[in-house]
A and B are shown apart, each in its own frame.
Chain A
């Protein structure tokens, strides 16, 4: 059972205090979007064996959504960070690079 540190309240929360919210950094497509973009936004998801970016909510806690970067193979957690960003911050990327050189995830590396 995972533990993740909520970057908003600082609590090292266990999985039962959290709610998993799926893939992070999706770009919303609304009216006017092409069928392809809309389909990708709604349904197409990364399923990596390794580095992954996810959304979590500290639901039994401060109620805040946050982002987590972790390895789906080993469950190593590279870091958690604000939900109010459309891409992982440099500090998180550096932390991943230190452990998984050459990683890539969608447009991020």
Chain B
């Protein structure tokens, strides 16, 4: 069993006991524990079930690479699934629950899959769920859905806050182990601005556990000294609990800082996502120990050898009383020596190498530990917990030589440098056969904007394994980064590291090397996704030769740990199966983030009210206070209608339309785009932008205009006013303001740069209020200050003046067909004018109306709406707007495009009005069907609905649509099938449904 030791635990504060729960069970640990170490201290080795076969799984590692110990943390609004117990700091009240089991962790029904494992090989789902088709809906999908996913998604809204932070630095060091610290010191001493990120709560990495001396000091002491020096340097910043998550183009790096996961409840953000721009990045990310592939290597109690050592030294936890060590390299001997020194039993060290190890082997033997060379594990005994191992010769097929009782196995298959961050942005790897590892190819580093390398790997992450090599490599990296950022490094030498001499590793990709299929089927590569040696071999046999294909076929490395433990073993297995070299097979692509980061951190501040910008007009508060039902238009919110109590939205729209047509309506039109175009060439410029002529517009007059893209399609419309000799004001649609302003600037800056024109987007300077309806003039006259008579201010003119003492500009333009004044005032006075208009309009029953009433009224008048009648494939000619296309101009944007044969095709669908035979409202977007079928065998069509409303004015459904030869087919009735299978019949009519002669607006 696993238990707490009396005298060790360098990271613990044993005076502070901490209470927590696991699956509801009350347990205690110490300050400084991780959840994993505290669970082990409480003999809770079994922490979850595997994904596919629901096999019992225990903690296997002590850090970020852990594939098994994933738990749900917290409850309610702070619940989070799939958290690694090995990187979760213990705190008072922590509540953890294991995942992927039913009904309980100890007894799990899904484990039946394990019995059936030989029927669930790689690709099982691909092969099985092909046919019959009907089985998908009723059989396969429900089962797959039920068992899919790891952990449970949170149900409640996240109660925590998150934020981003933009940082810029000369040198970013990722990793606060001895390599990272030394690199930071070397760069910092040279005067470079340095930021160092360490993902754990401690500096020093694993060096203090591994022993040795630096400059004749114990490693802990050295770490203490170097951190103290770095902390005094004003140009160096150190951050703990901050992981380098990803390295991107041009020196961009994401850092993931966990601020309060270990102290929930304190004020402030839970996570902070650092958006760092670094001139040089040093990845001092260490290395990860590889498992060995032997049968039963996933039984709880089998752990990575260095992790067993970590738990003993850092957390004072013994994983077992009797621990068998199995290895192919010298490092695992440290575990045996540590355990033995702590008074624990190590029955045997199984060293797969025939010659065994170096100085450490001698030390282990001197401590009385039995060492067997050329031996390995045939299989692990036990199911929910290791009870022993059967040993065999590594060279053989697994004939059992001896069974040895034990309750833990410490395995080491060698070390893989953490090359993830090196690789994210294109750094290449080379296979180091001597050390059996992929390490960064320093000649193929990621390059930045200058074309020069911007990432340096340092220490173990660079393949330097001994303490001395790590320190000198890191020192050189720090100095190189300083030089690359324009600083002059000191000529001091790197600290001296001392460790015992080691013998070379011998790669072991399968144990024993001739293991038969029965053993291979129980030799796990990917613990989280349940991929075994036999699965990868099957994939190879079935023709999946590319490592990327094998990955997807078997799901190797596709779990939340992204194959930190499994990738190298998996691709080595594939290489063997393909009889290829490991470098020829290569690795899968390393993608950020290094370990999963929270969705909250990615979102940062963008949640709730500030999820996205909400644009408010100067009258927004009034709309809100008066019950507006909102319609989002871009980032704006515009009132759709103002329902009164008891009214449906349709009722409100009808009331707003009727009251406006009968007497007086009021519209907040502030969101309409307004762009000033000024200069000696402004007229010429506008003639190019609009299809019609704007240079001839007289000062004081307004003209409706259309804008097209170079592709000929209609892109925006609006009324243009000539302000003075060289100044025009262009109205755009609400959504078009920024786009059209950008469009203008683009043409001015990149094509006609010699034309003298300036533009300014003045949209938000003005609150614009439309006073609409037969009593509109009376209202303005009542407010007083301007002559708004037909004679002084006729239709399609504008005038400056003041209304009720507020300076304004009034445009006599109409989008409703009514007598209409659009009044523009400075935004700061918009609300004041709105209030005055409302007050003065009481006697006329003034009625504010929303966008839907606006739409209905414009449709009754047959006015087009950009985005309804247009969809990016419609040209003005389709909409019968030829009158707005100048015949005199030799050129305008879109003119050449409109001359293409397809654009001039008489068979293009054209705009018409549509009136249902029974007065009902046509479905929006409905198609008119024709005789026969099209090339795809579908029913042929001859038109479609672009806008459709109930017209309160006419008391029936009206619509506009594009119809084949439409204008020539007045009176014809078309069939529009509805979704429910019924058919609506509508007659082709003139699109102007109301006041065809414009008598109401022109008064």
On A, residues with C-beta under 8 Å from B are: 1-3, 14, 19, 21, 28-33, 35, 38, 42, 55, 57, 59, 63-65, 71, 74-77, 83-84, 99
Contacts and interface: CB of A to CB of B under 8 A. Distances in A.
B749 A83 contact: yes
B325 to A, nearest CB: 46
28 contacts: A2-B250, A2-B449, A14-B277, A19-B742, A28-B751, A30-B895, A31-B895, A31-B896, A32-B896, A38-B896, A42-B710, A59-B742, A63-B745, A65-B745, A65-B746, A65-B749, A65-B750, A74-B447, A75-B249, A75-B447, A75-B449, A76-B448, A76-B449, A76-B450, A77-B449, A83-B749, A83-B753, A84-B753
Interface in B434-455: 447-451
Given A32-B896, A38-B896, A38-B900, 10 more contacts: A1-B250, A3-B449, A63-B745, A65-B750, A74-B447, A75-B250, A76-B448, A83-B749, A83-B750, A99-B451
Given A1-B249, A3-B277, A30 B896 contact: yes
Contacts of A14: 252, 277
A32 B889 CA distance: 13
A35 B745 contact: no
A59 B749 CA distance: 13
Nearest to A78: B451
Among B248, B750, B753, B899, the one with the most A-chain Cβ atoms within 10 Å of its Cβ is B750
B493 interface: no
Nearest to A16: B275
B890 interface: yes
Given A3-B277, A30-B891, A74-B451, A35 B250 contact: no
B884 interface: no
A57 B344 CA distance: 68
Nearest to A59: B742
B161 interface: no
Contacts of A55: 750
Contacts of B900: 35, 38
3 smallest CB-CB distances across A and B, nearest first, come from A76-B451, A84-B753, A65-B749
B897 interface: yes
A83 to B, nearest CB: 5
A31 B750 contact: no
A84 B711 contact: no
A75 B890 CA distance: 42
A2 B891 CA distance: 38
A55 B742 CA distance: 14
A64 B248 contact: no
A75 to B, nearest CB: 5
A31 B250 contact: no
Given A1-B249, A99-B451, A21 B746 contact: yes
Interface residues of B, number: 27
B749 A31 contact: no
A63 B759 CA distance: 12
A77 B742 CA distance: 25
A64 B749 CA distance: 7
B899 A31 contact: yes
A31 B447 CA distance: 46
A74 to B, nearest CB: 5
A16 to B, nearest CB: 10
A28 B890 CA distance: 15
Nearest to A76: B451
A12 B896 CA distance: 39
Given A42-B711, A55-B750, A33 B896 contact: yes
B682 to A, nearest CB: 18
Interface string B736-758: 00000010011001110100000
A67 B164 CA distance: 31
A21 B742 CA distance: 11
A76 B277 contact: no
Nearest to A29: B896
A77 B368 CA distance: 63
Interface string B18-39: 0000000000000000000000
A35 B447 CA distance: 43
Contact of A84 (B749, B891, B895): B749
Nearest to A39: B900
Nearest to A77: B449
Nearest to A41: B710
A17 to B, nearest CB: 12
Contacts of B252: 1, 14
Contacts of B250: 1-3, 75
Interface in B728-787: 742, 745-746, 749-751, 753
A33 B896 CA distance: 8
Contacts of A31: 890-891, 895-896, 899
A42 B712 CA distance: 11
Nearest to A38: B896
Nearest to B426: A74
A14 B711 CA distance: 31
B445 to A, nearest CB: 11
B449 A38 contact: no
Interface in B569-604: none
Contacts of B750: 21, 55, 65, 83-84
B293 to A, nearest CB: 38
Nearest to A99: B451
Contacts of A19: 742
Contacts of B451: 71, 74, 76, 99
Contacts of B897: 38, 42
Contacts of A75: 249-250, 447-449
A19 B896 CA distance: 27
A1 B249 CA distance: 5
Contacts of B711: 42
A74 B746 CA distance: 28
B453 to A, nearest CB: 11
